[in-house]
Amino acid sequence: MCHFMKITFCQKFRLFVKSFINFLTFCQNLIILLRMMKVQEFTKRVGINLEDLAKQLGVKPSAVYAWSAGKRTPTYDMCVKLMECGMTVEELFGKPYLSSVAETHQAFEDRIESVMKRMFAKIGKI
The residue extents of the domains of the chain are: 38-99
The stretch 85-112 carries a mean pLDDT of 71
Q: What is each CA distance from 69 to 18, 39, 53, 121, in whole angstroms?
A: 32, 9, 15, 43
CATH number 1.10.260 is the correct assignment for the domain at 38-99: yes
Residue 51 CA to residue 59 CA, distance in Å, equals: 9
Confidence of residue 34 (pLDDT cuts 50, 70, 90): low
**Quick check: pTM over 0.75?**
no
59: pLDDT strictly greater than 90: yes
Q: Is the pLDDT of residue 90 over 70?
A: yes
Nearest to 85 by CA among 124, 55, 122: 55
Please name the residues in contact with 60: beta carbons below 8 A apart, sequence gap of 6 or more: 54
Percent of the chain predicted with pLDDT > 70: 75
Q: How far apart are CA 41 and CA 37, in angstroms?
A: 9
Q: Residues 35-47: pLDDT tens digits? A: 557 888 888 888 9
Tell me how many helices (H) and strands (E) the chain has: 7, 0
Q: Is the pLDDT of residue 58 over 90?
A: yes
CB 38 within 8 A of CB 96: no
Q: Report the pLDDT value the prediction gives residue 52, as an integer from 0 to 100.
A: 92
